[in-house]
A = this chain, B = another copy of it.
Amino acid sequence: MRIKDDEKVHRIYRAAIKVINREGFQGSSMSKIAKEANVSAATIYLYFDNKDDMINKLYISTKTKLGKSYFKEGSELSPSKSTFRNIWINHYQYITENIDEYVFQENFSNCPLIQQVEKKYNMDYCPTFEELFETAKATKLILPMDNDFIYSLLFAPISSLVKKNKISGNEIPMNDLIQIFESSWRSISQ
């Protein structure tokens, strides 16, 4: 018998993202995804229960990767401006380098189908962030605010700009990038 290819799951994931980003959610059919992945549509059903199952798992997979993207292995997380800057830059780099995954994910975080997954997922979303924010607040590095507020003030502007640029096809020069970080930082720092 042939060996069930673990790599095949990722081929399907990549194909799904590609098709969905190209043709939208409604334009994405299992057969299109299958063709893009160079497998038979029936094959997808060997790896997933159904379309929803596939989308959910794909969503969780990308979400997990994104969650990890903030923190490079071995890097320190002492509460300092430079730590925040590193995290911020990591995030920026990840979403620009994986713009398709990122767009896919943003598209779906609002989708009713995904929201129950989302709810459950949010709970264990980012314990690392919780910790970092708390100690930063304790050391009076940043303002005492709800963690969600901090997160949004820090990351929402750059995320929003990346998405906008995706559409227009522009890129943000490094100078501007620093400027945006400094502004975001100012909004939360004490």
Contact = CB atoms under 8 A, between A and B. Distances in A.
Contact of A145 (B26, B164, B179): B179
Given A106-B110, A167-B119, A161 B148 contact: yes
Q: Which of A22, A149, A163, A180 has the most CB of B within 10 A?
A: A149
A126 interface: no
A168 interface: yes
A149 B160 CA distance: 9
Contacts of A115: 167
Count this chain's copies in the assembly: 4
A39 interface: no
22 contacts: A22-B112, A23-B112, A24-B113, A25-B25, A26-B26, A107-B111, A109-B163, A119-B167, A119-B168, A145-B179, A148-B161, A149-B161, A152-B160, A152-B161, A152-B164, A156-B156, A157-B157, A159-B160, A160-B160, A183-B187, A183-B188, A187-B187
Interface of A: 21-27, 103, 106-107, 109-113, 115, 118-119, 122, 143, 145-146, 148-149, 152-153, 156-161, 163-164, 167-168, 176, 179-180, 183-184, 186-188
Query: A-B pairs with the 10 shortest C-beta distances?
Result: A187-B187, A156-B156, A156-B160, A183-B187, A152-B157, A152-B160, A156-B157, A24-B112, A153-B157, A107-B110
